[in-house]
Amino acid sequence: MATARIIRDLPLPGAVNMRRDTALLDAWRPGDPPILRLYRWRPYAVSYGFHQRSGDFDHAAIASRGWDLVQRPTGGRAILHAEELTYSVVGPSPSPLFGPSLHSCYMAINEPLVAFLRALGHEAEISGGEDRREQRQAVCFKSAGQHEIRIGGRKIVGSAQRRREGVFLQHGSILVGPRHADLLDCLPPRRRGGLDRDGLLAVTTDLGRLRGAPYQESEYADLEERLASAFAARLGLELVPVAWTELGLADQSA
């Protein structure tokens, strides 16, 4: 059976999380096993895509809440990383495991994500995409792009990818609670696209709302374990746990 390394980080500041994902992408070499990293954010953080601008956000509003603002190495639109599970995958593409193209790579990673949600009792589906007007909006979870995952027509997983020289980084957010909608408080009115908090919650869902009770802090470890198991089963991988210090990379915490 093929192997992959799995890193399960404690919650970290936004800049550290993005530096770690970037370091994994930079360090990967042909022949290395894929890497699955599971992590969270403390404090909460607003991240924005590679092609967005820092000036699109209300810095004072973000700072007043004690949250971070950080740019991702991938594309896509803004997310408030609050009550969520975050995953990242680094691996080869094209490859037998992830297929020959961007599309096949997204779909290969969607298999364990959908399996994870279905094991929790939720019938997930993969979005066919959005129109160009939606693509110009600032808020990631306002609509589901191609390859993203919905339940009952509402978006629950948002993912983005960066590819270069035969290696990719994909990371994504699985909504566990409704705090992602507080992102709108961090945007100037002109950047909200006419959306309010209730409107954003109407087009998204999260694991807590789906089961009818919020997830407690103590339950996140079980969700991570279930997610890791889905990756192993659907991709046919043996996951080998590694600590960040075992990778031979700089700590990235400074």
Decide: 177 and 214 in contact? Cβ < 8 Å. yes
Task: Please identify which of the residues 45, 69, 115, 140 carries the catalytic annotation.
Answer: 140
94 prior amide bond cis, ω within 30: yes
CA 138 to chain centroid, in Å, comes to 16
Nearest-5° Cα angle at 245, 244 to 250: 90
Joined together, the tokens standing for residue 114 give 């959908």
Q: Is the dihedral of CA 176, 177, 180, 181 positive or negative?
A: positive
Contact 72, 18 (CB under 8 A): yes
Q: For residue 105, indicate whether it is catalytic.
A: no
Catalytic residues: 140
